[in-house]
Structure 1
């Protein structure tokens, strides 16, 4: 039976190996040990930086999609209220049809918020596959030669005491308590960073309309589910691949903080805080800000409109003079 997953991931693995080898060569050129675990960990961090930088346009598109979802939230709620309590098949199909028509009309996509995560999944599993093959003394599919693969598979932290290719499961079998401790600490940090990222979105970057929508309730569920995913996945994945997710989570948390601070959702707590910061900054600089959001009400003129005068009446008034 052909390896379908390996065939699909082959081009992704080739690109990952090229980036890893490039950073490994750069770090080795500046004096780091080519077989050290720190060198390969920094190469993985470099891989994350390249991947996340490439995903910035998709992240911007995600923000715009979330803004549009915010705009259609009241209309979506009207559709749901319209079919509330109706459980027959006709009502369900009508509700689904009207919802999809609304998404199509407004150009919104509820899955856009998951797009960066979905794109990173093949990269993560490809890195996992590369590390597993390196541990099995297999060369890569691209620039990861047999020599580099051997270095990668045998690389370890803390003087060789914590191999990057071990997970909590394999470390327990091998009796390596240090890897278990490192992996457990990384799982806690990954879980906390993911929870903080979701929490700051929900607590500071949601308007009152958004908090009343069903999508907000779905996000509240994800707030507690996604950290559990990291907790369970950390049991099986090697610490080398966990460094990828840890660095990616920290990037996401910092990126989300900057977006919420500088591009908050209109009407949210973060938007009010930004307006207050700008007002204080303008006050320190001595700038007077003219409010333009509420236009001045122009009072209608009370002068009576001049009526048109016919030719006969104009002649009579001229004769009187």
Structure 2
């Protein structure tokens, strides 16, 4: 076995082992349907059990289980209507608790409902935002608005990007609380809270914002490659915590913010986040109220003294929507939400996934089709790696030319492995050939493959992105199937994620296997039977192994194989070696003689 074939098999086997390990650890999940849980009326009969901050002696923010009253019957609501959002806020607590994403559907089926994000108490999966003031010196908890306080509308009847809504509540002891809520055309709310002291005593109170989620989300994927759960950024440090790793309510961690910070919950494609406008001195905490099974994060600012005749105000922003890269980038770059792009889970290879997605996003902006953009991205990646590929393929061509000389060395050395290695190294040095250089392009493809897999799986822009014909969602596996002869027979194909789906693969995986097989035919089959078997099976093993991966990833792999085929063919010909592709294909179909026939 010559060194070139050894290195090629080593690199191929290593690639196979890494991808196989990845496939076992991180199997492509079924494409889940985002549940559009039914929304109940506002006549809930149980308290929400949310834990509201209390200011304490110095605004420290100890945990207090709110003595929440039963939710009121038929509480009025204020509609929310923007180009991106539809829903309403409840006058009970002034909660933002009913929100759907206009531009996103649960599935690709015609008439599919839009995605629900926030839902009120009494629904199947309550998830909402609360804001208020925590009582400190001179005040009792019932003298500040709580989770179930009934507010009145002072101005505005519908919340839109052009019209804000102002709520008002008086505590009957000289304090008037107002809450002005506005929203932009994307997903950012601004909640400006103020309190006016018309009494005769100085009081102290601290503003806060709360996000509460009752139970884990129904569509939780529990997929290692993706973070779902609590997320926060404090003074440049990102912290991600899974739901099952959150501390209980009586042991929650309070994180002090020195300069900037935000906190929230992130799903696969959607997110809610609190962004205090005045971050200095804020306290952020995230925990699980196990008794109520409520996951909660909140941000509390320092207590403020309010003298008679004074008015104080503070703003907190709420992001509630889709994790669109462009929108989140604008909030980070233009509106000062530091590190907001890191709310998208770029993973360990962030130094590759971020630029790859940036390039893919801009290609899609020019081309207008994400599938063709993936192919264009592949061309660019191959162009960047061309100098290395050129050197590798030149080395492979020279190795072919040296094959006769290498056979002579093997004959001379016989069983003397030390002499064989010494003469081989001398030959490589004399001819300026590096036998390991052929492995580098293959090895470099591994982190690029993983990074692109991450980009396709995690980023919202690939969700439901069509390419051509039957490929309507590049983030999902190829829906075609040999099972029904790709739609010729009337029965449906196997369900995604099932065993049958792994066996009865679609058109794209089949093309992938053929492209890998053709790439092998640039070189004659190795003479060693073990090598022949590995090379014969590898394209088809990869075909079935990657058949249930996202279509976008398979498109990349096919494009990469075809471009590599062209590059290798042209470069090897330029070095005087003419690959006999058709001859190698013919030889692969010849019947191999049995040992006793030789």
Q: TM-score normalized by structure 1?
A: 0.56
The match for 1:238 is: 550
Partner residue in 2 for 1:75? 405
The offset of 1:45, in angstroms, is 1.0
Cα distance in 2 between the residues matched to 1:57 and 1:103: 21
| Change in 2 beyond 3 A, CA 1:99/1:269 | same
**Cα distance in structure 2, aligned partners of 1:216 and 1:259:** 26
Q: In structure 1, what is the Cα distance between the partners aligned to 2:569 and 2:374?
A: 23
**How far does residue 234 in structure 1 lie from its aligned partner after superposition?**
1.7
Relative contact order (alpha carbons < 8 A, sep ≥ 6): 1 or 2 greater?
1
What SS does the corresponding residue of 2:515 show, helix, strand or coil?
helix
User: What are the equivalent positions in structure 2 for 1:131-280 lying under 5 Å apart?
Assistant: 131-134=456-459, 150-156=460-466, 162-167=472-477, 173-174=495-496, 184-202=506-524, 223-259=535-571, 264-265=576-577
- CA change 1:132–1:189 in 2 (3 A) is same
Give the Cα–Cα distance (whole angstroms) in 1 for the partners of residues 504 and 371 of structure 2.
14
Please list the CA deviations of residues 49-83 of structure 1 after superposition, one character each: whole Å capped at 9, or x if unmatched: 10111222222212321233134323322332234
Aligned length: 224
Partner deviation per Cα, 1:100-159 (whole Å, 9 max, x = no partner): 34334432222322322222221111010122223xxxxxxxxxxxxxxx2323324579
Map Cα deviations across residues 235-266 of structure 1 (whole Å, 9 max, x no partner): 34211100101111222233345446665417
Q: Which has the higher strand share?
A: 2
**Corresponding residue for 2:394?**
64
Query: Could you tell me which residue of structure 2 aligns to residue 55 of structure 1?
Result: 385
Q: Name the structure 2 match of 1:313.
A: none
Alignment-derived partner of residue 116 in structure 1: 441
1:26 is aligned to 366
Change (3 A) 1:63 1:102: same
CA contact (8 A) 1:183 1:234 kept: no
Would you say 1:128 and 2:440 are equivalent positions?
A: no
CA contact (8 A) 2:463 2:474 kept: yes
Change (3 A) 1:216 1:260: farther
1:48 deviation in Å?
0.4
1:268-289 deviations in Å (ceiling 9; x for gaps): 769xxxxxxxxxxxxxxxxxxx
**1:145 corresponding residue in structure 2:** none
Unaligned 5+ runs, structure 2: 1-238, 241-345, 480-492, 582-598
Name the Cα RMSD after superposition: 4.0
Deviations along 1:70-98, one digit per CA (max 9) or x if unpaired, are 343233223322343x3xxxx33443344
Displacement of 1:24 after TM fit? 1.7
Q: Matched residue of 2:402: which SS?
A: helix
Shift in Å at residue 47 of structure 1? 0.7
Unaligned runs of 5+ in 1: 33-38, 135-149, 204-213, 271-321
Q: Give the Cα separation in 2 of the matches to 1:109 and 1:242.
A: 32
Match of 1:315 in 2: none
Q: Distance in 2 between matches of 1:269 and 1:172?
A: 40
Query: Partners of 2:450 and 2:434 in 1: how far apart?
Result: 26
